[in-house]
Amino acid sequence: MDPRAALLMLLAGLLHASWHAMVKTGSGLAILAGMGLVSAALTLPWLFVLPMPSGATWLIILASLVLHAGYKVSLAMAYRSAEFGRSYPIARGTVPLFATVIAYLTLRQLPGLSQFAAILIIAAGILGLAVDRSHGRFSRSALLAAICAAAMVAGYSVTDAAGTRQAEGWGSFTAWIIVLDSLSFFAVALVLRGSKMLVEIRAARMSVGIAGVLGLTSFAVFLWALSRNPIANVVAFRECSVLFATLIGVLFLGEPATRRRLVCAASIAVGLMLIAALKPP
């Protein structure tokens, strides 16, 4: 992967884990919906200076909106019934494998043997964190929700990669998908939660504002990297966020720092370094 993209994805991973922790410790769906409004407000002015999407790009945007909404609903369900230190690794850990398969089926884009080995190392480390018994019992509903979230992330990663490579450029696609995704998901959340959600957003306005800025920055960097690097590698490298999530869980959420956690974190770090060092196939 491009070293510049690798450094920016590390930053995006830190921001990503941070806003996820805020969603977990906050009011879940309301935080997700509220932070979307913040992201949309910050992005909206760019729609007037960037190229308008073509007909083909609008189809990609529509597909992406469905996948993003499914991801957020699944994520909120997983966080509602499971600890952050376990639900986050499962939701993120299986994404590189899903994305690799989808990228091959849709774009015939398959990483080389070395890149694929690195992806497996990262996935093994993340899933090792997820099955740590110190996290306690993990319900079937939370497991299914986390896996569903991972599948949705993989799906929108491949879809968004196609969108960023359209003639209008990654900037146009990024601006439109952020605004439309944020507004459409807010509408979905409002239907699911009703007026109670507005009260929850108002009560958590500080967290909503911070999470909105963190999420916007993280996602924009992610789409920029997708526009110029192999999809599976970018998606795998994005999961450096699990390293930061582990630290956040231990330092701020009172979760245990077990030997398994340290070994799995080291496994993730090795995989990330391999991806950063290897050239695309």
Residues 88-144: pLDDT tens digits? 877 877 777 787 777 778 777 777 788 788 888 888 887 777 776 665 666 778 788
Give me the pLDDT at residue 279, please.
61
Which domain covers residue 157, as residue numbers?
Answer: 3-277
pLDDT at 41 > cutoff 80: yes
Q: How confident is the model at residue 78 (pLDDT cuts 50, 70, 90)?
A: confident
| DSSP string covering 209-245 | HHHHHHHHHHHHHHHHHHTTS-HHHHHHHHTTHHHHH
User: How many domains in the chain?
Assistant: 1
How many percent of the chain have pLDDT more than 90? Answer: 30
Q: pLDDT tens, 177-217?
A: 999 999 998 998 888 888 888 998 999 889 899 999 999 99
CA–CA dist 47, 273 (Å, integer) = 36
The C-alpha R_g of the chain, in whole angstroms, comes to 18
Question: What does each C-alpha distance from 27 to 24, 32, 76, 268, 271 come to in angstroms?
Answer: 7, 9, 9, 30, 33
